[in-house]
Amino acid sequence: QYRLPKIKDEQVLQLVKEYNHKDHPKTLLIIEDDLLFLNKIARLLSEAGFNVLKSHRGNLGLQIIDETLPDCILFGVDLVDITIEELIEKLKRKVSDFFVPIIAIGDKNQTKLIEKIKFETDDSLLKPFIMDDLFLKVMRLTDKALRMKNQVNIDELTGIYSRKFMMERLEYYLSNHNEKQFVHSVAIFDLDYFKHVNDKYGHSVGDKVLVEFTKFIRGKIRNTDIFARYGGEEFILLMPRTEEKNAWKKLNSLRKEFSNLHIKVGDKVIQQTFSGGIASAQANINNPVEILNLADIALYVAKNNGRNRVFI
Ligand code: GH3
Ligand code: MG
Ligand code: MG
Ligand code: MG
């Protein structure tokens, strides 16, 4: 068969270790059904400081992405349980909004196949390759992805919009001539007693709860809604063309449903609630800051009335 990858240049290894150290380690998902190969490159990547997720099946790999959004995905082009076309299509549907690069790995005799999928993937590697090549490709692509995320204002931890982007959109809805004839609503929500989660389980479990929270909300809102991280454990949901009362109904049902959710983080099961405040753009209030202030006041009232509730 082919030779397993080797590291040639210690300098490259040093570089990639520093790269993973500097921010936080990058998470890589490897989907490959050759177990010998999978385990070997997984070990080499771990040694270089990457956080490695492994899957020996395509469908399992897709499932893993739902739990943990990786920073980069490597996949073999001839998996037993899924065609390459289907795998790429599903991968892209799950990750392309979040700028997760995907790298195809094929055998030397699969150059035709690699060529065929060239435009669907960010890069490719042919076996046998050396790890340096893989490291350099991953560093280049994840670095570029990070820059793009910052440009479009995606929050790093949760993958949802940043405060800046939300403010821009809110500004648009309040000033656009065509949109002015509609009522637009804004909700601010803040997780209840979130400090306790960090104190009890640690910050990284807290992070995971934030990610699960955003996933839950994202799955329940309309395409036109803008869901953003306002900061820390505070979030904004901008609901264009939504009356205040309907916005309240929506947020309140999200609140109820979320409070019943059992969030699994490792072997822990966590229940979390949030409080929310709603405000709407109306004739007399039309600047973003003013509306957010009103929503914030409503949130404050919700907190003071016992939390796990939504006020207007
Ligand atoms: P309440 O809002 O109900 O008044 O109580 P709280 O405990 O949530 O209080 P507060 O808003 O003052 O504290 C928020 C906590 O959220 C403090 C901070 O450590 C934590 N937090 C903020 N951002 C993050 C984050 O990105 N990750 C984690 N793990 N924790 C965060
Ligand atoms: Mg807070
Ligand atoms: Mg607070
Ligand atoms: Mg809080």
CB 95 within 8 A of CB 73: yes
In this structure, which residue's CA is closest to atom 22 in ligand 1? 232
pLDDT at 294: 94
Can you tell me which atom of ligand 1 is nearest the CA of 195? 7
Which atom of ligand 1 sits closest to the CA of residue 192? 3
Structure tokens at 180: 């002015």
Residue 147 pLDDT > 90, yes or no? no
- Of the two residues 98 and 236, the one the predictor is more confident about is 236
Q: In this predicted structure, what is the pLDDT of residue 126?
A: 94
pLDDT at 29: 98
Q: Residue 23's pLDDT band (boundaries 50, 70, 90)?
A: low
**Tens digit of pLDDT for each residue in 194-234?**
999 999 999 999 999 999 999 999 989 987 899 999 999 99
**How far apart are the C-alpha atoms of 233 and 244, rounded to whole Å?**
23
CB-based contact 139:205 (threshold 8 Å): no
Inter-residue contact 43 to 87 (CB < 8 Å): no
Q: How confident is the model at residue 164 (pLDDT cuts 50, 70, 90)?
A: confident
CA angle 210, 293, 230 (to 5 degrees): 25
Nearest to 109 by CA among 77, 143, 72, 146: 77
Residue with CA nearest ligand 1 atom 30: 206
**295: buried, middle or exposed (CB in 10 Å: 19+, 13-18, 0-12)?**
buried
Residue 85 known to be catalytic: no
Q: What pLDDT digit, counting tens, does each position of 292-305 carry?
A: 999 999 999 999 99
ipTM of the complex: 0.95
Predicted confidence at residue 179, as pLDDT, reads: 85
Per-residue confidence (pLDDT) for residue 224, from 0 to 100:
82
Pairing of strands 161-162, 226-231: parallel
Beta bridge partners of 262: none
Task: Name residues contacting ligand 1 (CB within 6 A).
Answer: 157, 190-195, 198, 203, 206-207, 210, 232-233, 303, 307
Name the residue of 160, 192, 195, 307 to mutate for ligand 1: max ligand atoms within 8 A of Cβ.
195
Give whole-number Cα distances, 217 to 225, 254, 256, 263, in Å. 11, 7, 12, 13
